[in-house]
């Protein structure tokens, strides 16, 4: 029993630490965006659409990486790690919109090594009763990276430049590529985390499931709202709310660190009271928070309460992603990678559109306010869909 628990802890530690470095690179784009816009002379719609190429390739290949992981296990991951590191390094060499978009697309392809395979890894190797909380631990790595970007990246960007910052972010991804490669060469596959020979559910059965579509669409609407915030919040706070760049970046970090509490406590609660209640509550609170963000410009009272609003949003935002991911194991326990990969494609379509739509709205109106209000609305739609898609009997069975 002790050895088995140690094995569980090793799997969680490996996956969580990898996600920290994988997502600190992803969140870095939003923090570095003001400097990239200034240096490459981009419009905001160009800056947003360039990032959309990252989301597009990430989403498309997550379908394949999830299915491949269900068949071949961890071997899929190390190849994608090397691709991810290469793409991140290339971003630092970008000289115009085209080279930036191409580099982000390559990085997005490699990023398919992260969320879907890591959730499948944990879901396949840890007890079913741990599902929500174990994926919540994975989310701790992501929220910690969300918090770290606002503290680590601005000093690097202001001292070494935004280009060198991307090269520094690429290095850990390459190192993890070698770590995962070493695991595939160890005795009996090292930690026994290759999962060949599992009984996979066919695509037809998955795609004809009403629950698959309702939860997937809810996930997709949640992603649209979230990626507008992730991409443009620092620029909004700096240029419209008139908060200094360092302070605006720190607020993003604060939100990320508060997400750790949500990832741990609310996912644990979802194992007890059900995924349906926690996900719908989190979407509702996020919608209210975004509505308050949209009222910030010129509102002294709300600006003074910005820290509280960011804290509340961060806590419930941190619970959303792992709680949705746990639903894949609840509904299709033998094909988590496949289902989550398909949901990631649906999520990616929305996340692809979000930076473009948000940037276009900002260019047309001269403000991010309407984009934030749109985010609030889509969080509400996500809440309605999850209430329709999940029943109490499904979400409380773990």
DSSP code per residue over 246-259: HHHHHHHHHHHHHH
- Specify if 144 maps to a domain: yes
Q: What is the pLDDT of residue 127?
A: 58
The rounded distance, in Å, linking the Cα atoms of 69 and 77 is 8
Contacts of 294 (CB under 8 A, 6+ apart): 369, 370, 372, 373, 376
- Specify if 396 maps to a domain: no
Instruction: Give, as one character, the DSSP assignment of residue 126.
Output: S
The rounded distance, in Å, linking the Cα atoms of 176 and 217 is 32
Comparing CA positions, the residue from 108, 21, 65, 133 lying closest to residue 336 is: 65
3-state secondary structure of 227: helix
Phi/psi of residue 396, each to 5°? -110, 5
CA distances from 32 to 19, 23, 232, 236, 377 (A): 20, 14, 11, 13, 27
- Specify if 395 maps to a domain: no
Cβ atoms of 31 and 145 within 8 Å: the answer is no
CATH, residue 112 = 1.20.1250.20
The rounded distance, in Å, linking the Cα atoms of 10 and 287 is 36
Q: What is the pLDDT of residue 189?
A: 41
- Specify if 73 maps to a domain: yes
Number of helices and strands in the chain (H, E): 17, 0
- Specify if 398 maps to a domain: no
pTM of structure? 0.72
CA diameter of the chain: 62
First to last CA, the chain: 21
Instruction: Give, as one character, the DSSP assignment of residue 265.
Output: I
- Specify if 337 maps to a domain: yes
Report how far Cα 202 is from the mean position of its chain's Cα atoms: 27
Question: For each of the chain's 398 residues, which pLDDT tens digit applies?
Answer: 556 666 667 777 888 889 998 888 778 888 888 888 888 988 888 888 888 888 888 888 887 787 777 777 777 788 889 999 999 999 999 999 999 999 999 999 998 888 778 877 776 666 566 666 677 778 788 778 877 887 888 899 889 999 999 999 999 999 998 888 887 765 444 444 444 445 667 778 888 889 999 999 999 999 999 989 988 888 899 889 989 888 888 888 888 788 888 888 888 888 888 889 999 999 999 999 999 999 999 899 999 999 899 999 999 998 898 888 888 878 887 677 788 888 888 887 887 788 889 989 998 999 999 999 999 999 999 999 999 988 654 444 43
Structural domain of residue 285, as residue ranges?
2-390
Q: What is the pLDDT of residue 321?
A: 84
- Specify if 98 maps to a domain: yes
3-state secondary structure of 161: coil
The domain total for the chain is: 1
Comparing CA positions, the residue from 224, 216, 223, 272 lying closest to residue 389 is: 216
Crossing angle between the packed helical segments 162-185 and 2-40, to the nearest 10 degrees: 150
- Specify if 397 maps to a domain: no
User: How many C-alpha atoms does 121 have within 13 Å on its Cβ side?
Assistant: 31
């Amino acid at each position: 029993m002790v050895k088995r628990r140690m094995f569980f802890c090793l799997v969680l530690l490996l996956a969580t630490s990898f996600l920290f470095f994988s997502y600190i690179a992803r969140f870095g784009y939003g923090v570095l965006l003001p400097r990239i816009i200034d240096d490459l002379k981009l419009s905001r719609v160009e800056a947003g659409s360039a990032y959309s190429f990252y989301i597009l390739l990430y989403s498309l290949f997550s379908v394949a990486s999830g299915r491949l992981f269900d068949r071949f296990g961890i071997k899929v991951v190390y190849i994608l790690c090397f691709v991810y590191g290469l793409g991140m390094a290339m971003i630092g060499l970008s000289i115009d919109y085209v080279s930036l978009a191409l580099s982000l697309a390559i990085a997005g392809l490699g990023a398919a090594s992260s969320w879907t395979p890591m959730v499948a890894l944990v879901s396949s190797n840890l007890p079913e009763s741990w599902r929500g909380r174990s994926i919540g631990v994975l989310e701790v790595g992501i929220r910690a990276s969300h918090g770290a970007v606002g503290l680590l990246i601005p000093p690097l960007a202001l001292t070494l430049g935004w280009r060198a910052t991307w090269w520094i972010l690429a290095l850990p991804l390459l190192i993890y590529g070698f770590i995962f490669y070493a695991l595939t060469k160890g005795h009996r596959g090292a930690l026994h985390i290759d999962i060949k020979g599992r009984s996979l559910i066919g695509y037809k059965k998955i795609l004809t499931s009403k629950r698959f579509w309702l939860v997937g669409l809810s996930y997709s609407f949640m992603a649209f709202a979230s990626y507008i915030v992730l991409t443009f919040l620092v620029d909004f706070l700096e240029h419209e709310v008139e908060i200094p760049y360092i302070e605006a970046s720190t607020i993003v970090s604060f939100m990320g660190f508060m997400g750790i509490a949500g990832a741990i406590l609310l996912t644990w609660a979802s194992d007890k009271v059900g995924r349906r209640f926690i996900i719908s509550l989190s979407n509702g609170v996020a919608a209210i928070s975004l509505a308050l963000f949209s009222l910030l410009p010129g509102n002294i009272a709300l600006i003074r309460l910005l820290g509280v609003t960011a804290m509340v949003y961060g806590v419930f935002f941190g619970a959303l992603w792992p709680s949705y991911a746990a639903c894949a194991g609840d509904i299709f326990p033998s094909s988590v990678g496949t289902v989550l990969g398909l949901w990631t494609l649906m999520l990616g379509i929305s996340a692809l559109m979000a930076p473009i739509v948000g940037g276009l709205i900002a260019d047309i109106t001269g403000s991010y306010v309407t984009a934030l209000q749109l985010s609030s609305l889509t969080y509400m739609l996500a809440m309605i869909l999850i209430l329709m898609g999940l029943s109490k009997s499904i979400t409380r069975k773990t």
